[in-house]
Amino acid sequence: MSKDSHMVLERPADRGGRAQPMLIAQGMKRYFPIRGGVLNRRVGEVKAVDGISFTVLKGETLGVVGESGCGKSTLARLLMHLLAMDEGEVIFDGDPVGQLHGLSLRDLRRNLQMVFQDSYSSLNPRLPVEDSIAYAPRVHGVGRTEARRAARDLLQRVGLRPEYFGGRYPHELSGGQKQRVNIARALALNPRMLILDEAVSALDKSVEAQVLNLLGQLKREFNLTYMFISHDLHVVQYISDRVMVMYLGQVVELGPVDQIYTAPRHPYTIALLECRLAVDPANRIETPPLVGDPPNPINPPSGCRFRTRCPHAESICEQRMPLLGEWNGDPANHLVACHMAKPGSGHSLAGYGMAVH
C-alpha cells in the first residue's frame, strides 16, 4: 500500500527543487496599535514581531523558543496569513505569497498548515471530530463521503480508532486525544509543512512524549517540514534540527540545535538554558538566572533589547542595536545578535565569545 493512497487531496508539487528552502521570511513586522484618548487615536504600539527574517529548509524542524509574550504565536499567525503583516515578505518554496505571479493564499494553505496551542478552543465544540477533520478537504472540493473517509483514515494515522472516536465531540476527548485530532485536522489537506504552535505545551509529560513521538513518525511518513514553537527547551532540543531564539519580537540567536544547547553565545540563550531544571543535585542553582519580566514591548529599551536584564550590558549596548546578520544558507551557520560576539563592536568582552561565562 502506498503511503499516500488514502489522502483525498494530492500533495502540492515541490516547485522549487531540493535546494530551495521551504520557507523564507524576510523582515516580518507586526505592530499592534494601542488606541486610547478621546477620539480613539493611536497612542502607541506593541512591537509584537519586529523585523524577523529566517529560513526553513526542506525536511528540517526549526525550533522557536522564547519567553511568553516574545511574539512566537504572532509570528505563527503572520506566517499563516491569519494576521496581516505590516512589513515583510514570505516566500514559500520559491514563490512569494500573495503577490502577482506568486503563490495565492489558497495555495499557501494547501501547502502550509498549523496546529494550534489550545487544543480545547481549536476544535468546534458542535462538530463531531471527524467532521472537523473533514471540513478542510470539503472546502477544497472533496465530496462528503470521500472527505469523511479520509478523516477516519487520518484518525487512524494519529493513533485514534476511527470507529470509536470519529463520532465523538471534543468535550468527550482528553487533552492528548484532542491534540491528536488537531494534528489530523492540520494534515487533512496533505500539506508539506506544519507550524506547531505550542502543540504539546498543554499536555502532561507522558502524553507530551507520546504526541512528540507521533509528530516524529508523521514527519517521516508524510515527509513533512516542521516549525516547532515552544517555550519548553527540553522539547525543542529533542525535536529540532535548528533552533531560533526570540526575545521581545526579535531573533537573538539562530543555529544548529547542538551548538545552541552546548555552546550558546547570546546571554539570553545562556540564561534560558540555565533555567532548565537540572537532574543532577550538584548542578542545581540557587539564584534564578533571569529576574523579572521582559521589558514592555510598547517601549522596548534602546539599543540591545536584552540589555536591561543582561549581566554584561555596557554603554555600547545602549547605543547600538546588535544585528543578527545574514544567514548564509548553511544549516551549520550559527548567528547571534550580541555585541560580545562581534570583534571590534566596542564591547569590552567583544571577540571573547562565551569564554567569560
Partner 1 sequence: MSDISLIGTPAAESPGREAPAATRVRGYWGNVWQRLRYDYVTLFFLLLILLIVLSAIFAPLLAPFDPNKASMAHRLKPLFFRTNYLGTDEQGRDVLSRILYGGRTSLLMGIVPVVVATIVGGLFGVVAGYAGGRVNTVIMRCMDVFFAFPSVLLAVAISGSLGGGMVNQLITLTVVLTPPLCRVAETSTSQIRSMDFVDAARASGASTISILLNHVLVNAISPVLVYASTLVSASILLASGLSFLGLGVSPPTPDWGLMLSTLRQAIYVQPIVCAMPGVAILVTSIAFNLVSDGLRQAMDVKA
Residues 49-68 that bind partner 1 (CB under 8 A): none
Q: In angstroms, give the least distance from the CB of 166 to partner 1.
A: 8
Cα pseudo-dihedral 191, 197, 198, 203, rounded to 10: -50
Question: Nine-digit cell at 206?
Answer: 507522558
Smallest distance, partner 1 to C-beta of residue 89, A:
19
Q: Specify the 3-state DSSP secondary structure of 98.
A: coil
* DSSP codes joined into one string, 70-101: SSHHHHHHHHTTSS--SEEEEEETTEEBTSTT
Tell whether residue 172 is a contact of partner 1 (CB under 8 A).
yes
157 binds partner 1 (CB under 8 A): yes
CB 256 within 8 A of CB 225: no
Nearest 10 degrees: Cα torsion 98, 103, 105, 106: 160
Least separation, in Å, of the C-beta of 117 and partner 1?
A: 7
Nearer to partner 1, 57 or 214 (CB): 214
190: contact with partner 1 by CB under 8 A: no
| Stretch of 42-50, 175-183, 286-294, 302-310 contacting partner 1, by CB under 8 A | 175-183
Taken in order 132, 136, 137, 139, is the CA torsion positive or negative? Answer: positive
Sole binder of partner 1 in the list 28, 90, 160, 199 (CB under 8 A): 160
d(C-alpha 243, C-alpha 232), whole Å = 12
**Which position among 164, 279, 286, 328 is part of the footprint of partner 1 (CB under 8 A)?**
164
Distance between CA atoms of residues 63 and 75, nearest Å: 13
- For position 86 contacting partner 1 by CB under 8 A, the verdict is no
With CB under 8 A as the contact rule, the residue among 21, 71, 159, 301 that binds partner 1 is 159
Q: Answer left, alpha or beta for residue 93, where phi above 0 means left and psi between -120 and 50 means alpha.
A: left
Residues in contact with partner 1 by the rule CB under 8 A: 1, 77, 80, 82, 105-106, 109-110, 113-114, 116-118, 121-128, 132, 135-136, 139-140, 156-161, 163-172, 177, 180, 182, 185, 188-189, 214, 217, 221
